[in-house]
């Protein structure tokens, strides 16, 4: 996470300076030797020794430009990351049922392996809840939809965040947003439609597919929407499909595609996964090393529930 002064005493001078360089990025100007002395409470000789160690290892190349300061010319990213003794990068995802988000995370992990970057994941329902946890420092990267980014991150740059968009369909695939209803349901004069007030995407999609004047909204957890239809608590609703042990048709439920033009148009604008990171953190530099064209291609491969990665994420990393 972002290097700040209170981290200093927990790190070696080499690790702290390496993290500082990562946060600054290529072409960044290093703080003065006296700044490192004050923060680390060490002598100037120790600062110079740490800098020399980083340069000698090939982790970084620096150039002094007189009174302008010392600048980062180039780096060997894996060596510098290792020297920084970075903890595992923690990603915060939507609930485990979201196979698209899980596949984005899997593609991200695959690329990070080339630099020996360790990545862990956690899960939390609701983009606002994930944002709150992210702001409290409980994650290095937050994954949200482009729809949530539109609502929650309009002032991202002013708040010190940077957004990386994966591409259309990487959060909601075109076929993944459907309408669920009972197969043998009798026509209702006024539909009871499930809506999840914890999810801005679900609210917007529901209102687009089922205009308020034609139905009554009943609050549900969108991940449990088929259950609510089955139990007769609601008549129908928009559902983001996820794997089910029992096919829904076996229990008398029918899945249909969205058919309201407004809902279809909206679904397209909400469909990309967005990775949110603190712009001044070393992890932001990690994301800038990622090949997002390849990441998008990997994330958009056919969903494969048999992929062992889907079952390998430790439960202990899940947020409450």
Q: Give pLDDT tens digits for 266-294.
A: 999 999 999 999 998 999 999 999 999 99
Determine the Cα–Cα distance for residues 184 and 314; give it in Å rounded to an integer. 41
CB 119 within 8 A of CB 139: no
Overall pTM surpassing 0.75 (yes/no): yes
DSSP E strands, 3-66: 60-64
Residue 8 is predicted with a pLDDT of 64
pLDDT for 167 beyond 80: yes
Residue 309 is predicted with a pLDDT of 41
pLDDT for 313 beyond 80: no
Structure tokens at 301: 């491969």
Structure tokens at 251: 């229990």
Domains of the chain: 13-84 (1.10.10.10), 89-171+271-317 (3.40.190.10), 177-266 (3.40.190.10)
CB 173 within 8 A of CB 100: yes
Residue 311 is predicted with a pLDDT of 46
pLDDT bin (cut points 50, 70, 90) of residue 166 is very high
3-7, 28-32, 142-146: the lowest-pLDDT one = 3-7
Rounded mean pLDDT, 9-24:
91
Strands 89-93 and 141-145: parallel
Per-residue pLDDT of 35-67, as tens digits, reads 999 999 899 999 999 999 999 999 999 999 988
Per-residue pLDDT of 68-106, as tens digits, reads 999 999 999 999 999 999 999 999 998 876 789 999 999
> Residue 46: CB partners within 8 Å, gap ≥ 6?
13, 40
């Amino acid at each position: 996470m972002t290097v700040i002064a209170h981290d200093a005493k927990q790190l070696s001078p080499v690790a702290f300076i390496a993290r500082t360089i990562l946060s600054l990025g290529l072409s960044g100007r290093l703080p003065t030797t006296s700044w490192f002395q004050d923060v680390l409470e060490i002598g100037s000789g120790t600062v110079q020794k740490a800098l020399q160690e980083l340069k000698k290892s090939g982790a970084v190349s620096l150039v002094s430009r007189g009174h302008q300061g010392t600048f980062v010319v180039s780096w060997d990213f894996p060596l510098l990351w290792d020297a920084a003794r970075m903890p595992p990068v923690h990603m915060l995802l939507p609930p485990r049922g979201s196979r698209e988000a899980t596949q984005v995370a899997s593609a991200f992990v695959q690329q990070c392996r080339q630099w020996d970057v360790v990545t862990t994941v956690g899960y939390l329902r609701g983009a606002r809840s994930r944002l709150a946890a992210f702001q409290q420092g409980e994650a290095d990267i937050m994954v949200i939809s482009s729809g949530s980014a539109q609502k929650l991150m309009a002032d991202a740059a002013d708040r010190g965040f940077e957004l990386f968009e994966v591409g259309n369909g990487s959060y909601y695939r075109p076929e993944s947003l459907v309408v669920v209803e009972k197969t043998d349901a009798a026509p209702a004069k006024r539909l009871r439609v499930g809506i999840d007030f914890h999810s801005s995407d679900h609210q917007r999609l529901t209102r687009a597919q089922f205009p308020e004047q034609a139905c009554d909204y009943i609050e549900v957890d969108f991940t449990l929407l088929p259950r609510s239809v089955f139990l007769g608590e609601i008549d129908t609703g928009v559902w983001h499909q996820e794997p089910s042990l029992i096919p829904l048709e076996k229990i008398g439920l029918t899945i249909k595609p969205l058919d309201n033009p407004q809902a279809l148009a909206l679904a397209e604008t909400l469909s990309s996964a967005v990775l949110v990171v603190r712009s001044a953190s070393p992890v932001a530099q990690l994301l800038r090393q990622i090949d997002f064209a390849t990441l998008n291609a990997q994330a958009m491969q056919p969903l494969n529930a048999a992929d062992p990665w889907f079952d390998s994420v430790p439960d202990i990393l899940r947020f409450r």
